[in-house]
Amino acid sequence: MGGGDFVALWDVRLSDGVHRICFEHGTTTGKRIIYVDGKEIIRRDWMFRLVGLESFDIGDAKCVIKIEPVGGFSYEYSLEINGKSYKKFRENQSKILTTWLLPLDGEVTRVVLEKDTLDVWVNGDKLETTGEFVDDGTETHFDLKGHAAYIKAVSSGSRREGIIHTLILDGAEVPEAIE
């Protein structure tokens, strides 16, 4: 990645993984460069206007970087994802995504449950799953690299806590990851 004009960095947690957005803004050259996961996706040289918007997508997520003046020759950079501020988006994602990180066959495997759709993602790929009702809730079964796995959903009994999701791999509970 480029020179010394980095002004902002954000980590965006989506179902398929955590994506790093880096923004370069040359306030003397008018240059704007956006990198996602280390790859340059937008480059604009010699932009006459130093303020404005840059729009791009990460998968299904619609992203906008806003460049606004804050007096003198300083600028403020903010990121919006799907129309929400970065902070609001992050809070929302932590409500709808549950993530587990586990060592499997010598590498770290990332399992994500989208609570609103009940989709299961493993290392960025959406899996085929089978849902099943059990006495105390539901189980979403899937194959995890040849291992039998399921996510058990049971009521916590408390409205504030809602439903508790637990990943079971080869009969053992996997602790939830904090991302």
Q: Where are the domains of the chain?
A: 6-82, 93-174
CB 167 within 8 A of CB 111: yes
What pLDDT score does 4 carry? 63
57-69 per-position pLDDT tens digit? 998 899 999 999 9
- 93-174 has which fold? Lipocalin (2.40.128)
Q: Is 6-82 in CATH node 3.40.50.740? A: no
Q: 162: which 2 tokens?
A: 């809602």
Looking at the predicted structure, is the pLDDT value of residue 94 above 60?
yes
Query: Per-residue confidence at 112, pLDDT binned at 50, 70, 90?
Result: very high
**HSE toward the beta carbon, residue 96, CA cutoff 13 A:** 14
Share of the chain above pLDDT 90, in %: 67
Provide mean pLDDT across the span 124-142. 93
CA 26 to chain centre: 27
pTM of the model: 0.80
CA 176 to chain centre: 16
What pLDDT score does 39 carry? 97
1-54 per-position pLDDT tens digit? 555 688 999 999 999 999 999 999 988 888 999 999 999 999 999 877 788 999
Provide mean pLDDT across the span 96-120. 92
6-82 shares its CATH topology with 93-174: yes
